[in-house]
Structure 1
Amino acid sequence: MDYVNHKKAPGLPGNDRDGRACPGGSGRGRNELQQKATLPKTRALTIVSLLLAGLTFSGGLSLCEEKISSPRLLLEPSRLHPGQFLVVFLEGVDPDDEASFQTNLPQTTLKAYPYRQGLISLIGVDCRTPPGEYTISVRVRQKDLGLWQQKLKFVLEPKTFTTQHLEVSPKKLEVRSREKWQQDLSFILEARSKSCDLPLWEGGFLAPLKGRKTADFGLIRYINGKEAGRHSGVDIAAPNGTLVVAANSGIVCLARFLNVTGYTAIVDHGLNLFTSYCHLENLLVNEGQEVLKGQEIGQVGSTGFATGSHLHWGAIIGSIFVDPYLLVEKDPLDIFDRETG
């Protein structure tokens, strides 16, 4: 179990508690992002009230109440598969409240960010997680109301992943040696150690490339007859030099050549959500650069450990890889925005 204490801090616009600078106060989309994060409380409560049907909340509060006398916890979805993600929202907490989150999901730390007069957390579910019933619980200590706590359950359903068998030369296999993986990992972990505390993306994500999908997310890969782990993204085949675009707006937190994934870009979309673009022929962006949804960031290649020209596209929440096409199907913040038009 992982337990995270969080005390909301007002903060300053354009700065992240973990140290990554968010985009400045001017420029396309910035005012919209600030409006998303600071809706008037009555409007936010109306939205949340409409979405609480089917969930059991402590305290016997009416779903039609506009005034909240204690916090409310929202969890979506209630049933999912390994490789998918959850959205948790704790509504009705103030800057001076102390909130603690706990989950029994393996290898999971719930990280919450201030959002719409509450706290929000995206939680990735590792594709190796066993099916079963899991919980998210929260404890809030408030100055006026004392201690409030609640637990919600969700069900992880079984999923069968496909397999893939590759045969490569010993020379090619050396490209992904343990030593080279470790060298790459230091850069990757540093890039993902910070995230903007505002959502930088705008609506649903784009597929960064049109092409033939050659390897699914989560497939069990065998190299020269030996299991080599799970596939952390999707592979999309396309001719060398084909342009690759950013799946959504954000900040480039890594843009460099890595041993295993070749020329690689990672984009921070805020709230601990990242996308990665690997095996590129070249990079068209720099670290620290703001990118817009659909902006060109590189060209398809076969650099690093690759058996042909393709893009490896990944989505990561914290340290957990999830199926990136889920972001194309649905904006993670859709639970708030679906009623606002």
Structure 2
Amino acid sequence: MRKLLLWLVMVAAMVAAILGGTAAFLYSRTGADKLPQEAVTFGEQELTANGWDWTIPVLGDKVSKPYESPTNLTVQKLGTFTDTVPQLVLPGWVTTAQVQLTAPDGTVWAGTQADCNTYTYTQNGEYQLTVTAYHSADSNTPGDPVGWYAYRAAFTMAMNPKVTLSAERAPQGSIVAIQLSGILDGEPTVETDLGTVWFRKTASGYMGYLPVTYNAEGGDHTLSLTCGSLNKEIILTVTRTLYDTVDIPAEESAGAEEFRNAIWPLYTTGSSAKLWNGRFEVPSAGAPTMEYGTTQMVDGARSGQSTGITYAAADGETVTAPQAGNVVFAGTLTLTGGTVVIDHGCGVKSYLYGLEKVDVERGQSVATGDPLGTAGTTHSLIYELRIGSKSVNPQTALDGNSGLQFREYE
């Protein structure tokens, strides 16, 4: 028995020695190369770590090796930005980050990476940037280092306001995007006879969408743009579009007041956020029977122009959402039958008329291609695309080359 105990003690000592030797070997071989290597970038420039505090697992959760360096007052100089707003890009190892910007007047802003990349620069001059990028413990990768890098940098903003149109000549029925970039000290507004412009915040400034409807007067139009201290007049030339003419039977106007009460208030309300993504999709598999802008004749007299695209939708066919958004109207109207209105944000809405059955509800969010209801034979299926109260040609959005897709991801 005594020999057995002695043997067990010797075995335990040998195991401890082996484990200790293994731990010591692994500890000695664990170097700074085990720390995250991919750099944080700002304005496409790699940031140099100003300080760090890391713990690297060596032997499970029993042995770990620390790497520490206190932060200091060294400031990395990034130069001057004159054309584009610098973007903060975090590598994949970062789980969370704290960002702080100090403006030339001493104003301090703090937030996340996403907020930093849409931060509104209202002054030119030197900015101070501090970033702390963390990698937290993850049960799926227990061998990863845990800790943080700190960065301190300075850069100068020297960006004058700039206004860019997606097109300087626009045909009737089109959408023109208005992009503002540079240092802006307010929120933009545009006065024009063409229609109301909704602006959304972007990384470089603002983007707005101007409707050029089917009956907009041809020739030069002045856009009076104001954004804080910026006042600028821009000339947009509207070109005439040659539309087809068709004869249509006379229709009863029953339900016109009901339609106005239900639909017209939607022209001036809606989300200020951009909810669409990319090109729009046709709501029906049927062929178009009347294009946007077509002049309509009744008994030889002009009765108006088509404000949307009419489709030969098959009875019972599923009608789908042209783009993502929120349903702001879903119901049946005497004049237009089953009606669905989708708010895509920034004043842009899809109006679908003539459904036999409506399968969505007001307040519901839809994605591109989601079913809205079914077509029938009582009414023709019509798809209108409007910015505010002004109709535009849906085909340009369906083709993916309208102002709605202009520099969409900037």
Question: Would you call these one fold, judging by a TM-score over 0.5?
Answer: yes
Structure 2 match to 1:61: none
1:164 deviates by 1.2
Structure 1 match to 2:372: 297
Are 1:120 and 2:207 counterparts?
A: yes
The answer to whether the 8 A contact 2:326-2:365 is kept is yes
Structure 1 match to 2:231: 149
Structure 2 match to 1:253: 328
Structure 2 match to 1:134: 221
Alignment of 1:1-12 (within 5 A): none
Which secondary structure state, in structure 1, belongs to the residue aligned with residue 346 of structure 2?
Answer: coil
After superposition, the C-alpha distances for 1:292-330 in whole angstroms (9 at most, x for unaligned) are: 111000111234xx4xxx421110011000111111112
For residues 99 and 211 of structure 1, do their structure 2 counterparts lie closer, same or farther at Cα, with a shift above 3 Å needed? closer
Q: Which has the higher strand share?
A: 2
1:69 deviates by 3.1
For residues 185 and 68 of structure 1, do their structure 2 counterparts lie closer, same or farther at Cα, with a shift above 3 Å needed? farther
Question: Which moves more between the two structures, 221-230 or 286-295?
Answer: 221-230
The answer to whether the 8 A contact 1:70-1:148 is kept is no
Are 1:97 and 2:186 counterparts?
A: yes
The answer to whether the 8 A contact 1:233-1:314 is kept is yes
Structure 2 match to 1:329: 399
The answer to whether the 8 A contact 2:159-2:183 is kept is no
Structure 2 match to 1:269: 344
Q: CA RMSD in A?
A: 2.5
For residues 122 and 267 of structure 1, do their structure 2 counterparts lie closer, same or farther at Cα, with a shift above 3 Å needed? same
Structure 1 match to 2:310: 235
After superposition, the C-alpha distances for 1:161-203 in whole angstroms (9 at most, x for unaligned) are: 11111234xxxx33x24xx212211110223332111111121
Aligned identity (percent) is 24
1:249 deviates by 0.5
Question: Which moves more between the two structures, 248-257 or 225-234?
Answer: 225-234
Task: Specify which of 252, 258, 264 is matched with residue 189 of structure 1.
Answer: 264
For residues 280 and 121 of structure 1, do their structure 2 counterparts lie closer, same or farther at Cα, with a shift above 3 Å needed? same
Instruction: Tell me the distance in 1 between the aligned counterparts of 2:210 and 2:157.
Output: 28
Task: Specify which of 149, 166, 182 is matched with residue 248 of structure 2.
Answer: 166
For residues 98 and 337 of structure 1, do their structure 2 counterparts lie closer, same or farther at Cα, with a shift above 3 Å needed? closer
The answer to whether the 8 A contact 1:38-1:115 is kept is no
Instruction: Tell me the distance in 2 between the aligned counterparts of 1:39 and 1:89.
Output: 20
1:333 deviates by 4.5
For residues 250 and 100 of structure 1, do their structure 2 counterparts lie closer, same or farther at Cα, with a shift above 3 Å needed? closer
User: What is the total number of aligned residue pairs between the two structures?
Assistant: 262
Higher relative contact order (CA 8 A, sep 6+): 1
Alignment of 1:270-289 (within 5 A): 270-289=345-364
Which secondary structure state, in structure 2, belongs to the residue aligned with residue 326 of structure 1?
Answer: helix
The answer to whether the 8 A contact 2:209-2:404 is kept is no
The answer to whether the 8 A contact 1:114-1:197 is kept is no
1:120 deviates by 2.2
Structure 1 match to 2:12: none
1:149 deviates by 2.6
Structure 1 match to 2:382: 312
For residues 98 and 334 of structure 1, do their structure 2 counterparts lie closer, same or farther at Cα, with a shift above 3 Å needed? closer
1:337 deviates by 4.0
Structure 2 spans left out of the alignment, 5+ residues: 1-111, 122-155
1:159 deviates by 1.4
Instruction: Tell me the distance in 1 between the aligned counterparts of 2:356 and 2:398.
Output: 24
The answer to whether the 8 A contact 1:132-1:156 is kept is yes
Instruction: Tell me the distance in 2 between the aligned counterparts of 1:328 and 1:155.
Output: 23
Q: Give the greater-gyration-radius structure (CA).
A: 2
Structure 1 spans left out of the alignment, 5+ residues: 1-34, 45-65, 142-146
The answer to whether the 8 A contact 2:163-2:178 is kept is yes
User: Match for 2:186: what amino acid?
Assistant: D
